[in-house]
Amino acid sequence: MDRYCVFGNPIAHSKSPEIHAAFAAQTGQELTYEKRLAPVDGFAAAVQAFIAEGGLGANVTVPFKLDAVKVAQALTIRARAAGAVNTLHFTEDGIVGDNTDGAGLVADIVNNAGVPITGKRVLLLGAGGAARGVVLPILEHRPAQLVIANRTVATAEALAEQFAALGGEGVVSACGYGDIEGAFDIVINATSASLSAELPPVSPSVFAPGALALDMMYGASPTVFLQFAGQHGARLRDGLGMLVEQAAEAFSLWRGVHPATAGVLQSLRAKL
């Protein structure tokens, strides 16, 4: 039986085994997928041990997405752009590192929420690892504008500068939260503020009428950010769809077949 896993610390909360089991059943793929708790300072050894046991691939979650870059012997373009790896593929030629987070987010916005990114104004809140992973996939959909807002402006500026040439003239820019100008069609919260029930300090005016507000975090009830966005007329979406879509992207990389996600997302949502 082909073996896969997800590495993290902590890892008990992970929904990945449930998601991949559903994908396998749906596509007729025979595989096992387990959670693996890796020691904080022992990620590389944990990966090698899994390969020695016959593992074919692994997902990588907090806090190992940067360690996974070092473990990989080759990186995909999107992993290099993200500076982080969430998917490892153990091939005959070595370990390939990929990042499916951004593709997952974009698939959730475009396919599941039915909101095109092309020609739209997009506001990305935060400039850390979560934000970094989604810039390239967003720009591949050719938004009219992508503004990266962050508490530390220099971090946002460095990120915007890295991708400026890809976006085209004047498409990608950066600013502090207090300097955001105009209304946006899509507002993405990539900060960790929701973990501590805090709100990124943005004005309600950032939401255009009927805007889509997406928080990368998810839970049984809407995050503080989504509650705030909802009070100002935005359509709401949490990070559960992104979780399922990034998993589908990884599954496709490993197995060569892209699973349908709607039923899996619906089933996970019902259990929250």
**102 annotated as belonging to a binding site for a ligand:** no
**267 annotated as belonging to a binding site for a ligand:** no
Q: Give the torsion through C-alpha atoms of 180, 181, 186, 191, to 10 deg.
A: 0
Environment class of residue 120 by beta-carbon count within 10 Å: exposed (0-12), middle (13-18) or buried (19+)?
buried
**108 annotated as belonging to a binding site for a ligand:** no
> Could you give the residue ranges of the DSSP H alpha helices within 89-183?
101-107, 129-139, 153-167
**176 annotated as belonging to a binding site for a ligand:** no
Q: Tokens 């990884």 appear where?
A: 250
Q: Residue by residue, what is the 3-state secondary structure of 216-248? A: CCCCCCCCHHHHHHHHCCCEEECCHHHHHHHHH
Helix (H, G, I), strand (E, B) or coil at 32: strand
**193 annotated as belonging to a binding site for a ligand:** no
Beta bridge pairs of residue 258: none
**27 annotated as belonging to a binding site for a ligand:** no
**8 annotated as belonging to a binding site for a ligand:** no
Is the separation of the CB atoms in 105 and 134 below 8 Å?
Answer: yes
**130 annotated as belonging to a binding site for a ligand:** yes
**35 annotated as belonging to a binding site for a ligand:** no
**86 annotated as belonging to a binding site for a ligand:** yes
Selecting among 65, 70, 120, 271, the annotated active-site residue is 65
**70 annotated as belonging to a binding site for a ligand:** no
**246 annotated as belonging to a binding site for a ligand:** yes
Neighbours of 199 (CB within 10 A): 15
271 flagged as catalytic: no
Q: Which two tokens stand for residue 68?
A: 């996974």
Residues marked active site are found at 65
Instruction: Please state the residue numbers annotated as binding site for NADP(+).
Output: 126-130, 216, 239
Instruction: Please state the residue numbers annotated as binding site for shikimate.
Output: 14-16, 61, 86, 101, 218, 246
Instruction: Please state the residue numbers annotated as binding site.
Output: 14-16, 61, 86, 101, 126-130, 216, 218, 239, 246
